[in-house]
Structure 1
Amino acid sequence: MSTAIIIPARYGSSRLPGKPMLGILGTSMLERVWRIASATTGCSRVVISTEDQRIVEHAKSFGAEAVLTPESCRNGTERTFATIEAANIDADAVINFQGDAVLTPPWVIQSMIDEFDASDSDFDLVTPATQLTEEAVEALRESKLVNPASGTTVVFDSHHNALYFSKTILPYFRSSGFTSVYRHIGLYGYRVPSLERYVSLPPSPLEQTEGLEQLRALEHGMKVRVVIVDYRGRTHASVDAAEDITIAEEIIRREGELVEANKA
């Protein structure tokens, strides 16, 4: 089946205006994300979607396809759906790859594309997760003492269909010994009809309680496939505030570029 990658990139961020155009080691966040998306195989198109002409022009400067979508889009999911019509995307599925996810390895996106092509592909959404070591679980516990909303975990059935996502650490450790914990990575791929259904649904009670949009899908009986990925020693992080740019630069200096400019 055909899969397109859509990169929502909003200029009017309240915390970091023009965030997608901010530089990380001399290259904008948007170009970095576009390079990552373009490094995948089996993808029919990569389209940047924005509400601001300045982002469109910036995208064109490094050879990317970009379209304008309504400023009224409330989040990346709605902008992804609007892009299907705005860019005349003829694909069976789309992946929402946020324009600030500069440290996401291309093989994580690839795993989502591959899952759509798998024989057992009777699901509505696909999303990645990574298995945590015992040390990583303890680090997450420590993080939640300071910021309880940091990090999302997921549990799933024997077919890797999600049972629940939570800001608490799942499962609860009733007895001693280590049980596998999987940290959710906030990327989503949708079959186009499933995305259309999702954006038509009202926010659900658990979604509003936990602040997790994927719970809307579960509460309305949609099947969410969890694909397990390995970061291969790379650091998982995102750019949400100005200070995160320095952190991202330090990680790239230490671990190297995910995708070189001439490999996009």
Structure 2
Amino acid sequence: MSVLVVIPARYASSRYPGKPLVALTGAGGQARTLIQRSWQAAQAVAGVDRVVVATDDDRIRTTAESFGAEVVMTSESCANGTERVAEAFDRLGGGYDIVVNLQGDAPLTPAWFVEDLVKGLRADPVAEVATPVLRCDGRALAALLDDRRAGRVGGTTAVFGWDRRALYFSKEVIPYTGQDYAPEAETPVFHHVGVYAYRPSALAAYPRWQPGPLEGLEGLEQLRFLERERPVLCVEVEARGRQFWELNNPSDVARIEAMMAEMGIK
């Protein structure tokens, strides 16, 4: 099965305008933009046939092309990353069996997260959409809870059933545990990793659906599938000693740079 990776990137983020062009400094003191680090994360994934950046902004296009990325220009009307990926896929003329949405705010996404995601979708012939989930340890859960206590909208959590079909995604920390955990202890909370793998049929249908109330309230694009009763497969991935965090707010820059320094990511 052929695999296309699309990195959707927009400049006009409501929470963090210009986010794709923010510089992140690695362990060796090398500063690279968020979009370049996301592109490098995509390039490290095995079994991918093509990687493109999808944007509606000339500043992002110029920056992406400067480090060798292929860019597909999309319209300003795309409401979210999935709509932008769908438009980019259409502009490319289709022709791929699986389309991966590697959102441009997750530079710490390890290659095996995406590789395991694609394997999970391939192994489930009924599933049309899949997304990774990562079990939180005590340290990660504490960071999520700290964000909520501070009034910051940070990471997303996921709950799913025995068949790994998603029950819900939320920017609140779910499920409620009411417990304290040691930093290295496993918890029952799963951090949703902002990556998606779609079959073309699901990707083509998505932009035709009107957003539902839950998507509007949470601001989470994947809820459109659940509100349309389209199952979303949750693929559990393993950290293997790596820390994971997404860049959602300006305060996340220092957090991600500290993680990069700790893990030796240049």
| TM-score over 0.5 (shorter chain) | yes
Return closer, same or farther for 1:136/1:56 CA change in 2, 3 Å cut-off.
closer
Tell me how far 1:19 sits from its aligned partner: 2.9
Match of 1:235 among 219, 234, 243: 243
Secondary structure at 2:49 match in 1: strand
2:204 is the alignment partner of 1:196? yes
Q: Is the 8 A contact 1:148 1:167 kept in 2?
A: no
Tell me how far 1:155 sits from its aligned partner: 2.1
Q: Distance in 2 between matches of 1:61 and 1:229?
A: 33
2:66 is the alignment partner of 1:61? yes
Return closer, same or farther for 1:219/1:37 CA change in 2, 3 Å cut-off.
same
Q: What is aligned with 1:166?
A: 170
Q: Is the 8 A contact 2:136 2:187 kept in 1?
A: no
Secondary structure at 1:74 match in 2: coil
Q: Distance in 2 between matches of 1:192 and 1:9?
A: 20
Q: Distance in 1 between matches of 2:24 and 2:154?
A: 24
Mean Cα deviation higher: 196-205 or 52-61: 52-61
Q: Is the 8 A contact 1:4 1:95 kept in 2?
A: yes
Q: Distance in 2 between matches of 1:129 and 1:80?
A: 21
Q: What is aligned with 2:119?
A: 114
Match of 2:92 among 87, 93, 96: 87
Mean Cα deviation higher: 132-141 or 57-66: 132-141
Equivalent residues, number: 257
Return closer, same or farther for 1:49/1:225 CA change in 2, 3 Å cut-off.
same
Q: Is the 8 A contact 2:46 2:111 kept in 1?
A: no
Root-mean-square deviation (Å): 2.7
2:188 is the alignment partner of 1:183? no
Tell me how far 1:137 sits from its aligned partner: 4.1
2:157 is the alignment partner of 1:153? yes
Q: Which amino acid aligns with 1:93?
A: I
Q: What is aligned with 1:9?
A: 9
Tell me how far 1:84 sits from its aligned partner: 0.9
Tell me how far 1:254 sits from its aligned partner: 1.7
Tell me how far 1:86 sits from its aligned partner: 2.0
Q: What is aligned with 1:52?
A: 57
Mean Cα deviation higher: 215-224 or 164-173: 164-173
Q: Is the 8 A contact 1:2 1:91 kept in 2?
A: yes
Mean Cα deviation higher: 30-39 or 141-150: 141-150
Aligned-residue identity in percent:
41
Mean Cα deviation higher: 54-63 or 138-147: 138-147
